[in-house]
Structure 1
Amino acid sequence: MAYGFIGAGRITKAIVEGLDGGAEVFLSPRGRQVGQELADRFPNVTVCPTNQAVADAASVVVLAVGASITRDVLADLRFRPDHVVLCAVAGVSLTKLQDWTAPAAHVVRTIPMPQAAHRQSRTALFPDHAAARELFEPLGGVIVAADEPMFDALTTATTTFAAHLDYLTTITGWLTAHGVAPDTAETYVRHLYAQVGQSLATESLTDLAGEHTTPGGLNEQLLTDLRHHGVPDTVRRALDAIHARLGG
């Protein structure tokens, strides 16, 4: 299988690192510094002079560019009927992608994560396709959406990272305001949540919540206070707005 990557940003870099020399890879000139670094590390990686050269060399084209330039990038490319296009761009519908990549036979929307570099990215797909599974299964597995709204819902969940990290930053700042040295505060908060993160690999959210919510305890007090002030409802409204935007 020969993979061609249009766009050489963080996601492309992660996927190529996860492949670890396991397939022939052609990279676009965009992000040439990243591409050259990958080519220097992996003998199976080639940086092409143009995006069209990438498409010509590959049987599977992975599109990983910004949503705002997707149409313009695809307008300059000629696809073959045998091409499979795996689109790692949020917010662009399957119908539009099929129109913009015609006559490519198959288009699949995907949500690979940077953890692909460590083969720990559970990648969402829609629709299902063998070529997408062949690429992403070894990089952490796949989850196939039943329909496009479900795929957009899964995409929406990935937009919560910055908010979650801001929550942790808020806790760190609170510790600092109460006399804990900044480095110590950050190290402590990172340690706390890294341990919870490890538990998520083997325990359900419900079980973990139960373990950390003793009736009448301090965890329960903070949880109750946040719920009283409408934090869960605020999160749901924000997710609804993102989901609506993705489906627009």
Structure 2
Amino acid sequence: MAPYGFIGTGAITAAIVEGVSAPTSPAIVQGLSAPAIFLSPRSRTVSQDLASRFPNVQICDTNQDVLESATAIVLAVRPQIARDVLADLTFHPEHIVISAMAGVSLAQLSEWTAPAKQLIRVIPLPSAASGDSLTVMYPDNPTARELFNRVGGLVTPTDETALEVFSAATATFAAHLDYLATITAWLANHGVDEHDATAYTRHIFGQLGQSLLHRTDSFAVLTNEHMTPGGINEQVLTDLRRNGVPDLVRRALDEVLTRLRT
């Protein structure tokens, strides 16, 4: 397997590197050797932790050294600073540029990483660390596919527009967790011990999430399975719909999508 270089060493880089390097990762358990990984010096605490845990990981002195050490380059810097970071780097035609930067189009990427020719956008998830990320990738590319197959599965939409829709959907994570925090706080406000309230909410929704991984039914079917006519689940769902919650979610996602395409 070819070496991979990472520009940016935040949470997503850490998850991918752990997912392909840890002895307990599915790829390693199956007998595949870990690829050589070259990390940029940014966020040195993260990079040093990874290098200390995995012998295949090496920290480079500069970002340019990362580019000189690997042909496949994963860009995982914050989109707001991407242009400035990449402006200081010299890419080569043979570089395969794999961007995990939300909202940075292939057209922008082409301008910022010229003369590199192979450009790919991906949406890896934090669950890459345990080999469970369903990564969205466009366009398909064998080098990128080899990396992300090791940390889970792949979805390859037919065009970049669809990838951006997937990217917008990931903006719902914090809102979902805040929904769970609201339920937990409500339990505590009604006299439930805070620790018990957190444990119970974590358990019931964690179990629900796990069950989804083993089902192929539509969400409409699953919704109906989790409520009975005249029951309390139906009551809450009806109340939320009456108050426009689904429309609020759709509008928020539309606004995120507009931002990603601007």
Both structures adopt the same fold (TM-score exceeding 0.5) = yes
* Alignment partner, residue 191 of structure 1: 203
SS in 2 for 1:220: helix
* Alignment partner, residue 66 of structure 2: 54
SS in 2 for 1:62: strand
* Alignment partner, residue 233 of structure 1: 247
* Alignment partner, residue 101 of structure 1: 113
Distance in 2, matches of 1:247 and 1:213, equals 38
Q: Structure 1 residue 34: deviation in Å?
A: 1.0
Distance in 1, matches of 2:154 and 2:89, equals 28
Distance in 2, matches of 1:33 and 1:178, equals 42
Q: Note if 1:5 corresponds to 2:25.
A: no
Q: Deviations over 1:36-58 (max 9, x none)?
A: 11111111111000000000000
Matches of residues 51-200 of structure 1 in structure 2 within 5 Å? 51-200=63-212
| Greater displacement, 141-150 / 10-19 | 141-150
* Alignment partner, residue 227 of structure 2: 213
SS in 2 for 1:122: strand
* Alignment partner, residue 24 of structure 2: none
SS in 1 for 2:103: coil
Gaps of 5+ in 2: 22-32
Matched pairs, number: 248
Distance in 1, matches of 2:159 and 2:234, equals 37
Letter in 1 for 2:67: A
Distance in 1, matches of 2:174 and 2:137, equals 23
SS in 1 for 2:163: helix
Letter in 1 for 2:96: V
| Greater displacement, 199-208 / 130-139 | 199-208
Q: Structure 1 residue 128: deviation in Å?
A: 1.2
Letter in 2 for 1:18: G
TM-score (norm 1): 0.98
The CA RMSD measured in Å over matched residues stands at 0.9
Gaps of 5+ in 1: none
> Relative contact order (C-alpha < 8 Å, sep 6+): which is higher?
2
* Alignment partner, residue 16 of structure 2: 15
Letter in 1 for 2:59: V
Distance in 2, matches of 1:68 and 1:236, equals 25
Q: Structure 1 residue 207: deviation in Å?
A: 3.1
Distance in 1, matches of 2:228 and 2:244, equals 21
Matched residues, percent identical? Answer: 55
Letter in 1 for 2:12: I
